[in-house]
Amino acid sequence: MKTIDQIAAELQGYDPQSLSADRVNDFLARLVEPVAERESVNVLDALDRVLAEDVISPISVPPHDNSAMDGFAFDSRQLAPGKDLTLRVVGTAFAGKAWQGTVGTGECLKIMTGAIMPPALDTVIPLEFVQLQGDAVTLPANAVQPGDNRRLLGEDLMAGQPALGKGQKLGPAALGLIASLGLPSVKVYRRIRVAYFSTGDEILSLGDEPREGAVFDSNRYTVFGMLTRMGAEVIDMGVVGDDPVLLEAAFRDAASRADAIITSGGVSMGEADHTKAMMKKLGDVAFWRIAMRPGRPMAVGRIVMPTDAPQLPAGAGSLLQQPGTRLAEGDKSAVLFGLPGNPVAVMVTFLAFVRPALLRLMGCSASEPVMLKANSVEPLRKKPGRTEYQRGIVFRSAEGALQVRTTGNQGSGVLSSMVQANGLIVLHHHQGNVAVGDPVDVMMFEGAV
């Protein structure tokens, strides 16, 4: 396991006081190691889990040539360009069982969608294309081509081939594919456990009496929502005040139970609180000033749970989601993400940096956010030298083109703008001002927020 200094030495141009967004993700890709533990789960429990091994198809899909629609199956060698073809119907094939009989020259078989195609037949003409008189069917000239409307054995999957790859996050379509192979369970990586708490004496929990200078904790709920959307197991540790004893207890407990720890607040440069000091005391941590807006300060690293870790101090149990939990024996470490305190900055840094890193921790092979291009309907001021994430609303113009506008006020405390937005306009590090009509990248929220 590499130290923070070793990772930093691998990155050309690494400067913790002025770190580009790209460098942040490069660093985190080296810091975060996927979980190794795996388990077998029922298909109905596999949604949003990550495959721990390839799924090999035990059967061919479809298992036989079959009809793609209701119609009449026949041997296409009887077709002649520019001429109608009249055939005699000798029977009907239904889905679910093979038709028993033979079809000769001048004959065809009425066939239902999904029914097995007899070996001598290779083409299906839809019911609505033909003229039927008694047991005679007339096929209009040039209505079909040889092989039309026939699904071939194994055209979706052949037996013995990989159906899904290790590291794939399973969505609804993947569950259906697994079930279509007759597999009742799959091997997945275990769920990652992520502990979260907010820091600061000025933070109120829901139910607390309002007081001057204090604010209710919103970060706890946005982080909870984003982690839950990812499929992580969330350890909610509430709000921890600016008390060294309570902070140490919270960090130690989080490291004993979680794969990753997320905090908000207490990482600003020069901030007079105990959070940064406790991070340094308990782990291998770097403190960054990222060339971005919003969300400039961030801390990353590992919190270490030593072999001789003491028991929690008296009174610290009130911090825990599960009171009375004992600290684990033996060394253990958890990846740390110390996020800024402003609500929008928390969400932006989570989406831009933490979410990709946690997907990697989950064993997911695809962790980078997908962006789309949309044309800006307003000018956007931007100085080269930092990455800006502006809240945007993507929509279609009357002509069908993707366009985007901002939500207005881009202050890092305007949480309502994240509700209005459906994505983040990403103005890259070297990018300058954007004119009306210019294309911009947008990181869409769907599935993440």
Q: How do residues 194-207 score in pLDDT, each as one tens digit?
A: 999 999 888 888 88
* C-beta separation of 253 from 312 below 8 A: yes
- Same domain flag for 81 and 203: no
Return the number of other C-beta atoms located less than 10 Å from residue 106's C-beta: 13
- Same domain flag for 183 and 216: no
134 vs 449, higher pLDDT: 134
Domain count, the chain: 4
The beta-strand segments (E) located in 95-176 are 107-111, 123-126, 131-133, 136-139, 150-151, 162-164
- Same domain flag for 390 and 269: no
* C-beta separation of 267 from 275 below 8 A: yes
- Same domain flag for 288 and 378: no
Q: How do residues 109-122 score in pLDDT, each as one tens digit?
A: 999 999 999 999 99
- Same domain flag for 70 and 55: no
* 41 CB-near residues (< 8 Å, 6+ apart): 49, 185, 186, 188
Q: What is the pTM of this model?
A: 0.86
Q: Which of 417, 428, 369, 416 is nearest to 393 (CA)?
A: 417
CATH code, 230 = 3.40.980.10
- Same domain flag for 185 and 195: no
CATH code, 159 = 3.90.105.10
Task: Quote the pLDDT of residue 201.
Answer: 86
Q: How do residues 384-427 score in pLDDT, each as one tens digit?
A: 999 999 999 999 999 999 999 999 989 888 999 999 999 999 99
- Same domain flag for 57 and 80: no
Provide the token pair at 244: 């060294």
- Same domain flag for 198 and 238: yes
Residues of the domain holding 311: 4-37+190-361
Q: Which of residues 361, 392, 410 is at a domain's end?
A: 361
In a domain, 98, yes or no: yes
In a domain, 366, yes or no: no
In a domain, 449, yes or no: no
- Same domain flag for 324 and 394: no
Is 323 exposed, middle or buried (CB count within 10 Å of its CB: 0-12, 13-18, 19+)?
Answer: exposed
Task: Quote the pLDDT of residue 308.
Answer: 56
